[in-house]
């Protein structure tokens, strides 16, 4: 302990405390070793003191001798305790009887080395406690900061949960509206399909009607052509008859005076005239028969039937 006290600077300036603190931090391992040694010495002294008290009490009970004579006989064992004074023994005895800790002597209190050592120990304890308090404060600050962060995170998660709930409700309403719209569109599509089928049937009917109209027009044109051909045929036939009659009349008028026609030739010419008449009559009969057959023909037989 005296070595440690000698190493501490004794400067009364403003920086003496900082220098002492630096010296303490530099000599901290040595200080810890010295404190451990001091603690071990204290334990050994306490053990020896307890043993001495037990022996002293036993001898006082067996030999009624004054206490100073007992101390004189055991001078080799308790030389250090006599040098410090008999007041320590008396105070320790009284404290042991009254279960109180021993009080140090006034001489020990006044020693500067012990005072400095006590101050160093107290300062070490204070600094250790301050360091532990700073660590505890740091832990408390970190824990409070973590708690605040967790609270903010919980608030954020709660806000996100509310937003997701609102979004889920909105999507539910939207899905319901889309389902209703889908039902409406499906019914509308069925209606449109029916309308398309009806329009297709109408278009088919219209096409058939147009086809029938075109066929009827063609039939009428053909009827007009047939009528024109019949009229032309009749005109040609009449002209042919007139031409043959003129030929006959001319031949009769020219040959009657010049030549005598034999009876066979006359009969042949008569037969030829009858044949021509019969041919013209047959042609006249054939044309009306064909016209009657065209009139009797049903023009709607070729039209398709509709269900």
Report yes or no: 49 and 92 within 8 Å, Cβ to Cβ: yes
Q: The whole model's pTM is what?
A: 0.28
- Tell me, yes or no, whether 9 and 108 share the same domain: yes
Q: Does 174 fall in a domain?
A: no
What is the per-residue DSSP string for 12-74? -STTHHHHHHHHHHHSHHHHHHHHHHHHHHHHHHHHHHHHHHHHHHHHHHHS---HHHHHHHT
- Number of domains within the chain: 2
Among 122, 152, 176, give the residue marking a domain's end: 122
Residue 219: domain span = 210-296
Asked if the structure places residue 182 within a domain, the reply is: no
Does one domain contain both 7 and 110?
yes
SS3 297: coil
State the helix-helix crossing angle for 112-258 and 16-26, rounded to 10 degrees: 80
For 130-158, letters b (16+ CB in 10 Å) and e give: eeeeeeeeeeeeeeeeeeeeeeeeeeeee
pLDDT of 75 reads: 43
Domain boundary among 122, 149, 171: 122
Burial annotation 44-57 (CB, 10 A radius, 16+ → b, else e): eeeeebeebeeebe
Does 189 reside within a domain?
A: no
Give which of 35, 227, 119, 79 is closest to 71, Cα–Cα: 79
- Asked which of 101, 122, 143 is the last residue of a domain, the reply is 122
Q: Please list the pLDDT of the chain residue by residue as tens digits (307 residues).
A: 444 444 544 544 445 667 777 776 777 778 778 878 887 887 777 777 777 777 766 665 554 444 433 344 444 444 444 444 444 444 444 444 444 444 444 444 446 767 776 777 787 778 888 888 888 888 999 999 999 999 999 999 999 999 999 999 999 999 999 999 999 899 988 999 999 999 999 989 888 888 888 998 889 889 888 988 988 888 888 888 888 888 888 877 766 555 544 445 554 555 555 655 565 555 555 555 556 665 565 544 444 444 4
Q: With respect to residue 236, please indicate whether it lies within any of the assigned structural domains.
A: yes
181 assigned to some structural domain: no
Close Cβ partners of 3 (under 8 Å, ≥ 6 residues apart):
34
Model pLDDT, residue 273: 57
DSSP 7: H
């Amino acid at each position: 302990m005296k070595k440690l006290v000698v190493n501490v600077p004794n400067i009364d300036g403003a920086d003496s405390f900082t220098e002492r603190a630096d010296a303490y931090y530099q000599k901290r391992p040595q200080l810890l070793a010295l404190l451990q040694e001091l603690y071990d010495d204290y334990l050994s002294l306490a053990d020896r003191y307890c043993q001495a008290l037990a022996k002293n009490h036993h001898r006082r009970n067996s030999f009624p001798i004054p206490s100073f004579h007992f101390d004189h006989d055991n001078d080799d064992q308790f030389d250090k305790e006599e040098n410090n004074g008999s007041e320590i023994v008396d105070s320790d005895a009284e404290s042991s009887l009254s279960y109180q800790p021993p009080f140090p002597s006034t001489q020990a209190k006044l020693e500067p080395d012990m005072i400095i050592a006590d101050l160093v120990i107290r300062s070490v304890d204070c600094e250790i406690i301050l360091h532990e308090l700073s660590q505890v404060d740091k832990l408390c600050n970190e824990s409070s900061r973590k708690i605040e962060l967790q609270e903010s995170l919980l608030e954020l998660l709660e806000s996100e949960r509310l937003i997701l709930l609102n979004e889920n409700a909105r999507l539910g309403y939207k899905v319901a509206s889309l389902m209703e719209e889908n039902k409406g569109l499906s019914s509308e599509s069925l209606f449109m399909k029916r309308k398309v089928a009806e329009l297709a049937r109408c278009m088919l009917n219209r096409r058939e009607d147009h086809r029938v109209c075109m066929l009827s027009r063609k039939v009428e044109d053909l009827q007009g052509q047939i009528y024109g051909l019949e009229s032309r045929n009749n005109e040609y036939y009449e002209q042919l008859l007139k031409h043959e009659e003129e030929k006959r009349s001319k031949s009769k008028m020219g040959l009657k005076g010049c030549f005598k026609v034999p009876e066979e030739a006359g009969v042949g010419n008569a037969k030829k005239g009858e044949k021509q008449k019969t041919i013209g009559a047959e042609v006249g009969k054939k044309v009306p028969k064909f016209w009657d057959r065209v009139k009797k023909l049903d023009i709607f037989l070729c039209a398709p039937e509709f269900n």
